[in-house]
Amino acid sequence: MLHDFLAENRAEIIARARSMVAARWAPQATTSELQDGIPLFLEQLIETLQRSMQPNPAMATSAAKHGGDLLKMGFSIAQVVRDYGDLCQAVTELAILKGAAVTVDEFRNFNRCLDDAIADAVTEYTRLREHSITDRETERLGSLAHELRNCLSAATLAFQMLQGGKVSIGGSTGAVLERSLRRMQELLARTMAAVRIDAGLLNLQRVSVRRLIEDLEVEGAMEAAVRGLRLTVTPVAAGVDVEADEPLLAAAITNVLQNALKFTRTGGHVTLRTQVTAERVVFEIEDECGGLPPGKAEGLFRPFEQRGGDRSGMGLGLAISRKGIEANAGEIHVHDLPGKGCVFTIDLPRCPARAGAVDHKEVVTAAERARRVLIVDNEVDAARALLDILTLEGYDTRMVHTGAAALRLAPEFVPEVVLLDLGLPGLDGYAVARVLREVLGPAARLVATTGFQEDRVRLADAGFDAHLLKPIAVAALLTLLDPQTAA
C-alpha cells in the first residue's frame, strides 16, 4: 500500500524533497521551509492515506491546516504550491526507483488527493492572509480614528471655552487648541504618506536639498517653539539635488524630525545637519531624548512601536519614514547616545551636478511687500479665515470661490499675490493660473494652495511661483508675503 511505502521511506523522501526544494532557483528555500514544512506535510499525507485510499474531506482539512501553518511560518504562496509539487515528485521518483508495489489506481488517487490538497491549502492560505491584512488595516484605521477623536475632542472643548469669552486665546486653552490642530495635521500627513507608499504612487524628480531643508525648518521651528525647544538647522549650499518623490521624502524626514521634537525634554536641543559628498546626501537628526533602552534601536522602525513616556500617537511615524526613505532608494538608521539621545541618519544618493542649473527660488529677490492679495478657494470657511487673518495684518484682501470669478475680478483688482486652490470646480487652479499669468504679467506672485504636494515642474509650467500645503501655517504664509519678516 502507498501509505506503507511513505512511512517506511519517510527519511529518504524528506531528504529527496529537501534536495529538490533547496535546488530551486525561485522562490528560494528557507531554513524553516526545509526543516519544518516538508516533514509537516508528509506526516499529514501519511495519516490521511492510512484512513482511506479514497479522496475524502480529511485530506482537504489536513491540507488547509498545512496552508495555515505555512502562513504562520512566513512562507509565500509560491512556496506553498511548489513544496507540494516537489514532495509529490520526490515520492513518485523514489517509488519508481525502488520498484514499489503501488497500483495505478493508488498513484491516480494519490495525485488526485494532492491536487485537491494544493487547491485547499492555497485557498486557506489566501483566506488567512487576507484576514491578517484586514486585521492590520482595521487596527491601523482604528488607531487613527482614536487619535483623531482625541484631538478633535480637545480642540472642541478648547474652542467652546474660548467662545465663552472667559479665557484668552493666548493662554493655556489656546495652546491646547493649537496642539490639537497640529496633531491632526500630522496624523493626516502621515496617513497620506502611507497611502502613497502602499499604492506605489511615486513621482521621481530632482529635488533641491536646500529648498527641502528650508521648508522643513519653517515647520520644525514652529513645532519647537510650541514645545519649548531649540532647533538648529545647518544650511545647505545651492546646487545639491537628490532624485526622489518630493512629497514622500519630505513626509519621511518630517516624521523623523517631529519624533525628535516629541521626545526631547523641555528646554532641550534638536539638530538637523546635512552632510554632502560627491555621491551621497546624509541627513542627521539628533535629539535629546535621554537615550534608548538596550536593544531598542532597530525596533523603533516597527509599526506601532513607541518609545519613552509619551504614548500619544500610533507608533507609525518611523515605520512610514523607513518605507518612504527606502522607496526613494535611501537608508535610515538610528544610533543611540546613551544618557543623551539619538541620532537618526537618512542616507540618499546624490544627483550629478547640472552645469549652469540654478534653483529658481534661490535667485528670487525679496520685492517690496505685497499689499493686495486675492484668495481663490471653493472652501468658503477656509477662504474666510485667510481673509480675516490677512485683513488684520493690514493686507487689502479679496476672496472668490471659483476660477471664473477670479478671472473676472483680477483685471480690476490687480492683485500682487494670488492664493489659488488647485481643486476648484470647473476651471481648475492650473487652468486659472495660466490665464492669470497672462493677465497680471510676471510681477504678480501666484501661490498654489492644496492639501497634497504637487509636481513642482507642472506648477512652474502653469505659472506658479510657490506652493503652500493646507492647512496653511500662518507664519509660513506671512513670510511668503513679506520675506523681510522671516525672523
Q: How does 355-366 read in b/e, with b if 16+ C-beta sit within 10 Å? A: eeeebeeeeeee
Higher confidence at residue 356 or residue 2? 2
**pLDDT recorded at residue 293:** 75
Check: CB of residue 324 under 8 Å from CB of residue 251: yes
Domain that residue 224 falls in: 206-349
pTM score, whole prediction: 0.46
**pLDDT recorded at residue 273:** 94
One-letter amino acid for residue 393 of the chain: E
> Residue 442 and residue 397: Cα distance in Å, rounded?
20
CATH at residue 469: 3.40.50.2300
Please check whether residues 262 and 336 belong to one and the same domain. Answer: yes
The stretch 353-372 carries a mean pLDDT of 52
Please check whether residues 369 and 476 belong to one and the same domain. Answer: yes
CATH at residue 233: 3.30.565.10
**pLDDT recorded at residue 298:** 59
Q: How does 236-245 read in b/e, with b if 16+ C-beta sit within 10 Å? A: bebbbbbbbb
Please check whether residues 341 and 403 belong to one and the same domain. Answer: no
Domain termination residue (choose one: 349, 381, 406): 349
Please check whether residues 10 and 123 belong to one and the same domain. Answer: yes
Whether residue 61 is predicted with pLDDT greater than 60 in this model: the reply is no
Please check whether residues 325 and 232 belong to one and the same domain. Answer: yes
Question: Per the domain annotation, does 359 fall within a domain?
Answer: no
Distances, alpha carbon 24 to alpha carbons 17, 27, 55, 109, in Å: 11, 7, 30, 27
Higher confidence at residue 416 or residue 140? 416
Sheet holding 417-421, edge to edge: 396-400, 372-376, 417-421, 445-450, 466-469
pLDDT in tens, 299-334: 566 644 454 444 444 445 577 778 778 887 888 888
> Given pLDDT bands bounded at 50, 70 and 90, which one contains residue 364?
very low
Whether residue 131 is predicted with pLDDT greater than 70 in this model: the reply is no
CATH at residue 121: 1.10.490.70
Please check whether residues 327 and 412 belong to one and the same domain. Answer: no
Question: Per the domain annotation, does 9 fall within a domain?
Answer: yes
Question: Per the domain annotation, does 148 fall within a domain?
Answer: no
Residue 203 in grid coordinates: 513621482
Please check whether residues 405 and 344 belong to one and the same domain. Answer: no
pLDDT in tens, 142-191: 666 766 776 787 778 778 778 877 777 777 777 778 777 877 776 776 67
Total structural domains in the chain?
3
What is the pLDDT of the chain when averaged over all its residues? 77
Question: Per the domain annotation, does 180 fall within a domain?
Answer: no
pLDDT in tens, 270-307: 999 999 998 999 999 999 988 887 766 655 666 444 54
pLDDT in tens, 187-236: 776 676 666 666 666 677 888 898 888 878 877 887 788 788 999 999 88
> Residue 21 and residue 98: Cα distance in Å, rounded?
21
Domain termination residue (choose one: 349, 375, 393): 349
Which residues, in sequence order, are bridge partners of residue 231? 270
Please check whether residues 309 and 232 belong to one and the same domain. Answer: yes
Please check whether residues 281 and 211 belong to one and the same domain. Answer: yes
Question: Per the domain annotation, does 170 fall within a domain?
Answer: no
Please check whether residues 265 and 331 belong to one and the same domain. Answer: yes
Higher confidence at residue 263 or residue 125? 263
Residue 248 in grid coordinates: 514622500
Whether residue 347 is predicted with pLDDT greater than 90 in this model: the reply is yes
Please check whether residues 387 and 311 belong to one and the same domain. Answer: no
**pLDDT recorded at residue 295:** 64
**pLDDT recorded at residue 357:** 47
